[in-house]
Amino acid sequence: MRILVVEDEKRIADFLGRGLESSGFAVDTAADGATAVEMTHAADYDLIILDLGLPDMDGLKVLEKIRNRKTTSPVLILSARGAVDDRVQGLEQGADDYLVKPFAFVELLARVRALLRRGQPSPERLQTGDLSLDCIRRRVMRNNEPIELAPKEFAILEYMMRNRGRPLSRTMIVEHVWDMDYDGLTNIVDVYIRHLRSKIDDRFPVKLIHTVRGIGYMLDTPEQGASAGTLPVSGG
Ligand code: CA
C-alpha cells in the first residue's frame, strides 16, 4: 500500500513518514500543493493524507484538483482547523475523512486502515456520512448514537451501504436479504425501508435513504446523491 503525505511542516511529515513506514506502508511526501498534484498524476496512491495549510495553495484547492482528475484514492484531511465548516467543506469536496491536529499517531493509523479497507470486497466496517455499521459486531451507529435494528433491517442496511450511491430495485434488495425460499411480494421492502427510515433518518436533518422513483432505493449522503444527477432522487 502506497501513501502520499502532503505536509509542508517537515517535522510532521517526517513523523508521519516514519510511523507509516514502520507500520508497513510505502510513503512518499510532498511539501507543497503543486508537487502533490503532480505526484498524484504520476502515481496511483492507495491513500492521500492532505494537510490543509500549505505554502502555495489551500489544501482544499489541492483536493479539488486531485478530484477533477478523477483520482479516486481516499483522501484523509489533516488540519489544525477544527471548525465544523472546514470539515464539512472538505468532506463535500471529496475528502473521505478528517483528522484535527494535534492527533495521536494511533488515531491516524486507525483512520488510515479504515479508509484502506473501504472498497475492499468485505470491509468489516461500513461508513456513510455519520452512519456506521460494524459487520462483525453487528452494531449500527449514527452520530455516535447506537441504533437497534432487527436482523432483516440490518441486512438491508448493510446491502445498501455496500452499494452506496447505487440505486437498488426492490427485487435486488429482496434477492440479497431474503433467502431463496422467500416468494412473497417485493412490497415488503417498502415496509422495511419505512422502519429503517424511522430508526436511521427521521431524527436527523440529513437523510441518507433516498427514494429513486421507478427503481427503488438508494443510500448515500445528499452531496453524492445529488451528483447522481439525472436520477429523479428524492428524500421521499
Ligand atoms: Ca501545514
Position 183 scores a pLDDT of 64
- Residue 221 CA to ligand 1 centre (angstroms): 29
What's the domain range around 199?
125-231
What is the CATH classification number for the domain harbouring 164?
1.10.10.10
Position 230 scores a pLDDT of 38
Higher pLDDT, 184 or 39: 39
Residues 130 and 206 occupy one common structural domain: yes
Residue 8 reports pLDDT greater than 70: yes
Q: Minimum mean pLDDT among 29-33, 90-94, 146-150: which range?
A: 90-94
Residues 84 and 138 occupy one common structural domain: no
User: Other C-beta atoms within 10 Å of 10: how many?
Assistant: 11
Residues 115 and 131 occupy one common structural domain: no
- Residue 97 CA to ligand 1 centre (angstroms): 17
Average model confidence (pLDDT) across the chain: 85
Q: Minimum mean pLDDT among 112-121, 133-142, 176-185, 212-221: which range?
A: 176-185
pLDDT digits (tens, 9 = 90+) for 206-228: 999 999 999 999 999 986 544 44
- Residue 54 CA to ligand 1 centre (angstroms): 5
pLDDT digits (tens, 9 = 90+) for 43-85: 778 899 999 999 999 999 999 999 888 788 899 999 876 667 7
CA–CA distance, 228 with 166 (Å, rounded to integer): 9
Residues 134 and 192 occupy one common structural domain: yes
Residues 133 and 84 occupy one common structural domain: no
Q: Residues within 5 Å of ion ligand 1 by Cβ?
A: 8, 51, 53
In a domain, 236, yes or no: no
- Residue 235 CA to ligand 1 centre (angstroms): 39
The number of distinct structural domains making up the chain is 2
CA within 13 Å, CB half, 25: 23
Residues 105 and 175 occupy one common structural domain: no
Position 127 scores a pLDDT of 92
Residues 42 and 136 occupy one common structural domain: no
